[in-house]
Amino acid sequence: MFWDSDVGKWIEAASYALAHRRDDDIEAKIEAAIDDLEKAQAPDGYLNCWYLGREPDKRWTNLRDNHEMYNAGHLLEGAVAYFQVTGRRRFLDIMERYLDHIYATFGTGPNQRRGYDGHEEIELALMKLYYLTGERKHLDFATYIINERGQQPPHYFDIERERREGGDTRQPYVHGNYEYSQSHKPVRDQDKVVGHAVRAMYLYTAMADLAAELNDPELKRACEVLWDDVMQTKMYVTAGLGPSAHNEGFTHDFDLPNQTAYAETCASVALIFWAQRMLHLDLDGKYADILELAMFNGALSGLSRDGEHYFYANPLESDGTPTRWEWHTCPCCTMNVSRLVASVGQYFLSTAEDGVAFHLYGGIASNVDIAGTKVSLREVSTYPWSGDIKIHVDPETPATFDVKLRIPDWCEGAGVSVNGETIDLSTAEKGYLTINREWQKGDVISLDLPMPPVRLYAHPGVIMDAGRVALKRGPLVYCLEETDNPGGKVQRLKLPRHAQLRTEKSDLFDGIVTLKADATAIDEADFRQLYRTDPPQETPSTLTAVPYFLWANREQGSMVVWVPEAVG
Amino acid sequence: MFWDSDVGKWIEAASYALAHRRDDDIEAKIEAAIDDLEKAQAPDGYLNCWYLGREPDKRWTNLRDNHEMYNAGHLLEGAVAYFQVTGRRRFLDIMERYLDHIYATFGTGPNQRRGYDGHEEIELALMKLYYLTGERKHLDFATYIINERGQQPPHYFDIERERREGGDTRQPYVHGNYEYSQSHKPVRDQDKVVGHAVRAMYLYTAMADLAAELNDPELKRACEVLWDDVMQTKMYVTAGLGPSAHNEGFTHDFDLPNQTAYAETCASVALIFWAQRMLHLDLDGKYADILELAMFNGALSGLSRDGEHYFYANPLESDGTPTRWEWHTCPCCTMNVSRLVASVGQYFLSTAEDGVAFHLYGGIASNVDIAGTKVSLREVSTYPWSGDIKIHVDPETPATFDVKLRIPDWCEGAGVSVNGETIDLSTAEKGYLTINREWQKGDVISLDLPMPPVRLYAHPGVIMDAGRVALKRGPLVYCLEETDNPGGKVQRLKLPRHAQLRTEKSDLFDGIVTLKADATAIDEADFRQLYRTDPPQETPSTLTAVPYFLWANREQGSMVVWVPEAVG
């Protein structure tokens, strides 16, 4: 019953792809899907293929579990993207008819039900439609469902269940409580990140959108409190979210097991959405740091190098058994990572009337309007392999405006110059350096972000990481894979605390930077028993680490992010 | 549908309790249960309360899943124990009528079905009945079901499914394959321990019984190969078995996660049964070592100190969330650990015509017949807290026979004397020292088993134990509990490799021996972030370890068996 959402996400991803390169075959496929949706749509606008095909009289009877608005949200995101890229309105018209039906059915009016969906998503899609059309009704409905969420007593899901199942025949609710869908209390009262991770991230994304749009300090504050909670106690070092397969989501503070990490790809993708909205709400590098972390690690790991294999769960440790899926019975992650990759340019910079802010580095060219002037912007770098970045700022005519450059929190000793003239970084605030000047064609900003490899240590509350370190360079978290460290499981390697971490330009994956260090290794062959009293013989060795997002693209084998430290 | 088994196990445990002290109330309860069973029994002898009450026409249609023979086996064990303790035959008669029905229904005869149970248990119960009665038919049926197991094509469970579900309506088998029930191949061809851990242990117990009884070298060899497999690659250091909740059982080699360890109490109890039977098959200390390890650790941990709380799963690490159950919807473990504790005396020694072998130490008094003489045996010690053991050997009249003393594999530098005269230990073979002499009233053997605390290191294939050590003293595996090590999760403590492990007689639990060591501790309060590049400040500290079997008897908190080693 969630498959409409995958059609929507596919159309969205395909539309972003079309923005890069028109493709008749893809366009024909999208149009065919829209034909089907148009045919399926009920005369009153309702459009959910599962219910229309199987249980047409049961529509809107189980918002808690059955994803109707969630599906509508993803279809709507697809329709918005397709319209933005092609200018074709047909899909958008279909969805607006559906939305009119939804708006008539749900709300606080006398003949309306006070419903909202168990799986958040339509909220953020409605905000996109509002930004596109400026039509107030979309903002109003988004406001309504966000405010209505978790209101009680009575709880809408209870009312609905009573209606569906009657007094005594209630089925036990498999998810136990409404934390699963973040509907345990009104959103402004929520201060702990709970439940299904993807649902949570989609909700918070829309809350941040709405806080910005309505200039609502209370909602903004809720977003900030939730942000701090997840950052301080619930995020994997890869920006993976949600340790537990049981609820596909969050558990208790510091519960971050590595081998069994769920860390659904969709959750890291959705964290990127939320971080971007927080950044729009408040230009603070701490949001961009996480956006970058999720982008280069926990989200990207979900997609194989060949673009055709996936991770639904993203463990941080493996004894060699799991491998990527070719497909998944719940294929949400495949399309989610695809639409992210196809739209990655949306995350690099944002513009305001008086300037532009660079959030991510890599290679991007963009033409923007700033302070009434057309400005061509071009980032040139081999980031994240090197922190040596050039940004060409070419206004059509000389113009004075701000260029804000994110100085990542992980970076110490950054250097910036414009046309060779050094800029003082001490004026940087909240992770951004502002350069205000009259920009002229040919201006070049040089940004030098030193990225020596570092060790990370986890809070001792994270019991699985005790005695272990993670390796990171710039935005990339590294891992050990058995194929680069043959001779047994990679966990046999131990890294002395003071061993130097060396970078090496390798031939792997078209030339990535690997990390190397002197290490000690336990010889498995020396171990005849499962347990013994003699300390293992440790022999000098070298360890090789590769970026986490590239793991499981070669021979199957063990992998570890948190490397045991050697005993002195 | 497995509840008959719990009635059987309760009667068995209660019977053993009666052997220690008669109790009218318990006897009345047992008799009432037998009344009910007698009333429930069908005229043809069939006796399964679930089927008789709910689906009387479906009996014997799903041996694969529905535990009918398993239930019969546990009832039979209860009947045997009750008869042995009280001499009352009624329950045994009921069960023998039921067995006659089973023997008529299943077998290789022309009108019989070639069935056996998906959950092994009746096999070992039948061997008990055979030992009690000497009636060949019980041995024959045990032989038949052990030999029939896993024979194919066709596989009996497929035949049965075909009959039950017809051609096209087959339900997918939830356990995927027949390894779950060790019926994937004939038992003599099995060389890897697979599937549901308790089922596996019950099967191997009966296989070892049968190998001894039939003097079957092929079956003995299969037992030995399976033993080596589990010992070398699949057993927790606590003698816990079966890492996975998914199949309540075994996975792949070295897959021994600590926090998520299933390690069902029943599986360690059943390992004790198997080890005892292997010991009967071959007096080798390696079996007694494991019997002792399971007894004092993985099995005993399942029962709380107050005798009223239980663990179904026995993790080796906790962040403080799990606690003992007051009860369990599947209460198998509660009765299993109870019947073990109530019958613990059965495991201390065994006799042969020409001698007696001591397997376990503690405190036990037993009167046995050896070489035609009544001999009173009395072990006196505070074992396992001390390895200083006295054994009083008092034959009615002077008699020459062997006294075999197990010298545990974990012990170095053991000393033995008889009446103060030192015995040479170099003649000990396969873990047993044989003392042959003319024993007289008043003879005292002194056994000194030094038990300095030691560190254990796991095979590097066990990825979760990398960089960690387990602490052990004598037969006891120790753990750190937060209540003894306040200030944060116990995983914040690290043990330097060369720190001395000290023993301390404590006031805890009526005077256990704790372990102490100088350690380093990370100050959680010093950690403001989830991850950071600065190595944690480690301050000198002391760690206190208590026996694993006693964990979760005091304040809830974190616990760890595998302690991180400190970085030098």
Is residue A93 exposed (0-12), middle (13-18) or buried (19+ Cβ within 10 Å)?
middle
Contact of B342 with B78, CB cutoff 8 Å: no
A232 Cβ contact list (under 8 Å, min separation 6): B529, B530
Please measure the distance between the N-terminal and C-terminal CA atoms of chain B and give it in whole angstroms: 56
| Residue B31 vs residues A13, B28, B34, B79, B87: alpha-carbon distances, Å | 71, 5, 5, 11, 13
Mean of the pLDDT values across residues A465-488?
97
CB contact under 8 Å between B567 and A564, yes or no, is no
Output the pLDDT for position B332. Answer: 87
CB contact under 8 Å between B567 and A568, yes or no, is yes
Count Cα atoms within 13 angstroms, Cβ side, for B26.
17
The angle formed by the CA atoms of residues A432, A433 and A436, to the nearest 5 degrees, is 130
The Cβ of residue B176 has, within 10 Å, a number of other Cβ atoms equal to 10
Active site residue B160: no
Alpha helices in B215-247 (DSSP H): 217-233
Looking at the DSSP bridge assignments, the partners of residue A58 are: none
Output the pLDDT for position B170. Answer: 54
From A104's Cα to the closest Cα of chain B, the distance in A is 43
- For residue A202, is pLDDT > 90? yes
Identity of the residue in B232, B459, B489 whose CB atom sits nearest the CB atom of A460: B489
Contact of B201 with B119, CB cutoff 8 Å: no
Mutation test of the interface with chain A: which of B290, B456, B531, choosing the one with the most A Cβ atoms within 10 A?
B531
- Asked if the C-beta of B136 comes within 8 angstroms of chain A's C-beta atoms, the answer is no
Residues of chain B in contact with residue A411, where contact means CB-CB under 8 angstroms, are none
Mean of the pLDDT values across residues A47-76?
96
CB contact under 8 Å between A460 and B535, yes or no, is no
- Asked if the C-beta of A329 comes within 8 angstroms of chain B's C-beta atoms, the answer is no
| Residue A519 vs residues A14, A310, B93, B431, B466: alpha-carbon distances, Å | 46, 32, 68, 39, 14
CB contact under 8 Å between B535 and A458, yes or no, is no
Pairwise CA distance, residues A74 & A78, whole Å = 6
- Asked if the C-beta of B536 comes within 8 angstroms of chain A's C-beta atoms, the answer is yes
Mean of the pLDDT values across residues A254-262?
96
CB contact under 8 Å between B457 and A534, yes or no, is yes
- Asked if the C-beta of B459 comes within 8 angstroms of chain A's C-beta atoms, the answer is yes
- For residue A342, is pLDDT > 90? yes
Q: For A396-417, how does the pLDDT look when each residue is reduced to its tens digit (9 = 90+)?
A: 999 999 999 999 999 999 999 9
- Asked if the C-beta of A237 comes within 8 angstroms of chain B's C-beta atoms, the answer is yes
Residues of chain A in contact with residue B321, where contact means CB-CB under 8 angstroms, are 252, 255
Contact of B151 with B179, CB cutoff 8 Å: no
| Residue B209 vs residues B272, B276, B279, B281, B540: alpha-carbon distances, Å | 13, 10, 10, 8, 53
Give the nearest chain B residue to A456 (CA atoms).
B533
- Asked if the C-beta of A390 comes within 8 angstroms of chain B's C-beta atoms, the answer is no
- Asked if the C-beta of B413 comes within 8 angstroms of chain A's C-beta atoms, the answer is no
Nearest Cα to Cα of residue B564 among A537, A531, A467, A495:
A467
- Asked if the C-beta of A508 comes within 8 angstroms of chain B's C-beta atoms, the answer is no
Output the pLDDT for position A567. Answer: 77
Q: Which residue has the tokens 């035959």?
A: B89
Q: For B322-332, how does the pLDDT look when each residue is reduced to its tens digit (9 = 90+)?
A: 778 888 888 88
Active site residue B248: yes
- Asked if the C-beta of B394 comes within 8 angstroms of chain A's C-beta atoms, the answer is no
Q: For A305-332, how does the pLDDT look when each residue is reduced to its tens digit (9 = 90+)?
A: 999 999 999 999 999 987 788 888 888 8
Give the nearest chain B residue to A255 (CA atoms).
B319
pLDDT confidence band for A168 (50 / 70 / 90): low
Identity of the residue in A259, A530, A531 whose CB atom sits nearest the CB atom of B257: A259
- Asked if the C-beta of B370 comes within 8 angstroms of chain A's C-beta atoms, the answer is no
In B249-372 the beta strands, taken as DSSP E runs, fall at 317-318, 349-352, 355-358, 364-370
Radius of gyration of chain B (CA): 25
Identity of the residue in A255, A317, A454 whose CB atom sits nearest the CB atom of B533: A454
- Asked if the C-beta of B28 comes within 8 angstroms of chain A's C-beta atoms, the answer is no
- Asked if the C-beta of B500 comes within 8 angstroms of chain A's C-beta atoms, the answer is no
pLDDT in tens, chain B (568 residues): 999 999 999 999 999 999 999 999 999 999 999 999 999 999 999 999 999 999 999 999 999 999 999 999 999 999 999 999 999 999 999 999 999 999 999 999 999 999 999 999 999 999 999 999 999 999 999 999 999 999 999 999 999 998 988 765 556 666 678 999 999 999 999 999 999 999 999 999 999 999 999 999 999 999 999 999 999 999 999 999 999 999 999 999 999 999 999 999 999 999 999 999 999 999 999 999 999 999 999 999 999 999 999 999 999 999 998 778 888 888 888 899 999 999 999 999 999 999 999 999 999 999 999 989 999 999 999 999 999 999 999 999 999 999 999 999 999 999 999 999 999 999 999 999 999 999 999 999 999 999 999 999 999 999 999 999 999 999 999 999 999 999 999 999 999 999 999 999 999 999 999 999 999 999 888 888 999 999 998 999 999 999 999 999 999 999 999 999 997 6
Residues of chain A in contact with residue B492, where contact means CB-CB under 8 angstroms, are 460, 466
Least confident of A279-288, A327-336, A350-359, B536-545: A327-336
Show the domains of chain B with their CATH numbers. Answer: 1-167 (no CATH), 189-196+215-346 (no CATH), 349-448 (2.60.40), 454-566 (no CATH)
Q: Which of B332, B333, B411, B479 is catalytic?
A: B332
Mutation test of the interface with chain B: which of A457, A463, A543, choosing the one with the most B Cβ atoms within 10 A?
A463
Is residue A322 exposed (0-12), middle (13-18) or buried (19+ Cβ within 10 Å)?
middle
Mutation test of the interface with chain B: which of A531, A538, A543, A556, choosing the one with the most B Cβ atoms within 10 A?
A531
- For residue A175, is pLDDT > 80? no
DSSP B310: B
Identity of the residue in B460, B522, B564 whose CB atom sits nearest the CB atom of A522: B460
CB contact under 8 Å between B232 and A531, yes or no, is no
Output the pLDDT for position A371. Answer: 86
Output the pLDDT for position A464. Answer: 95
CB contact under 8 Å between A567 and B564, yes or no, is no
Residues of chain B in contact with residue A233, where contact means CB-CB under 8 angstroms, are 530
H or E stretch covering A270: helix A265-281
- Asked if the C-beta of A470 comes within 8 angstroms of chain B's C-beta atoms, the answer is yes
| Confidence check on the interface: ipTM exceeds 0.90, yes or no | yes
B21 Cβ contact list (under 8 Å, min separation 6): none
CB contact under 8 Å between B535 and A235, yes or no, is no
B159 Cβ contact list (under 8 Å, min separation 6): none
Q: Which residue has the tokens 């450059």?
A: A405
Identity of the residue in A231, A254, A259 whose CB atom sits nearest the CB atom of B319: A254
- Asked if the C-beta of A564 comes within 8 angstroms of chain B's C-beta atoms, the answer is yes
CB contact under 8 Å between B457 and A536, yes or no, is yes
Count Cα atoms within 13 angstroms, Cβ side, for B493.
29
- Asked if the C-beta of B330 comes within 8 angstroms of chain A's C-beta atoms, the answer is no
Mutation test of the interface with chain A: which of B454, B463, B481, choosing the one with the most A Cβ atoms within 10 A?
B463
Output the pLDDT for position A137. Answer: 98
B372-400 burial, b at 16+ Cβ within 10 Å, e below that, comes to eeebebebbbebbbbbbbebebbbeeebe
Residues of chain B in contact with residue A252, where contact means CB-CB under 8 angstroms, are 319, 321
Pairwise CA distance, residues B334 & B310, whole Å = 6
A510 Cβ contact list (under 8 Å, min separation 6): none
Output the pLDDT for position B327. Answer: 80
Q: Which residues of A are catalytic?
A: 248, 332
State yes or no: cis peptide before B153, omega within 30 of 0: yes
Mean of the pLDDT values across residues A525-536?
92
Give the nearest chain B residue to A490 (CA atoms).
B463
Output the CA torsion B334→B102→B140→B178 (10° steps).
Answer: -60
Pairwise CA distance, residues B412 & A439, whole Å = 81
- Asked if the C-beta of B452 comes within 8 angstroms of chain A's C-beta atoms, the answer is no
CB contact under 8 Å between A522 and B317, yes or no, is no
Output the pLDDT for position B167. Answer: 61
What is the SS3 assignment for B153? Answer: coil
Output the pLDDT for position A417. Answer: 98
Q: What are the DSSP calls for A204-256, one per residue?
A: HHHHHHHHHHHT-HHHHHHHHHHHHHHHHHTB-TTS-B--BTTTTB--STT--
CB pairs under 8 A between A and B: 149
Across chain A, mean pLDDT equals 95
Q: What are the DSSP calls for A43-78, one per residue?
A: TTS---HHHHHH-GGGTTS-TTTS-HHHHHHHHHHH
CB contact under 8 Å between A321 and B252, yes or no, is yes
Alpha helices in B183-323 (DSSP H): 197-214, 217-233, 265-281, 285-293
Output the pLDDT for position A166. Answer: 77
Q: For A100-138, how does the pLDDT look when each residue is reduced to its tens digit (9 = 90+)?
A: 999 999 999 999 999 999 999 999 999 999 999 999 999
- Asked if the C-beta of A527 comes within 8 angstroms of chain B's C-beta atoms, the answer is yes
Contact of B443 with B394, CB cutoff 8 Å: yes
Output the CA torsion A396→A343→A210→A160 (10° steps).
Answer: 160
The Cβ of residue A310 has, within 10 Å, a number of other Cβ atoms equal to 22
Radius of gyration of chain A (CA): 25
Token digits of residue A297: 């690690």
Backbone angles phi, psi at B307, to 5 degrees: 75, 10
CB contact under 8 Å between A530 and B491, yes or no, is no
CB contact under 8 Å between A459 and B566, yes or no, is no
pLDDT confidence band for A171 (50 / 70 / 90): low
Residues of chain A in contact with residue B496, where contact means CB-CB under 8 angstroms, are 567
Give the helix, strand, coil percentages of chain A, each rounded to 5: 40, 20, 40
- For residue A304, is pLDDT > 80? yes
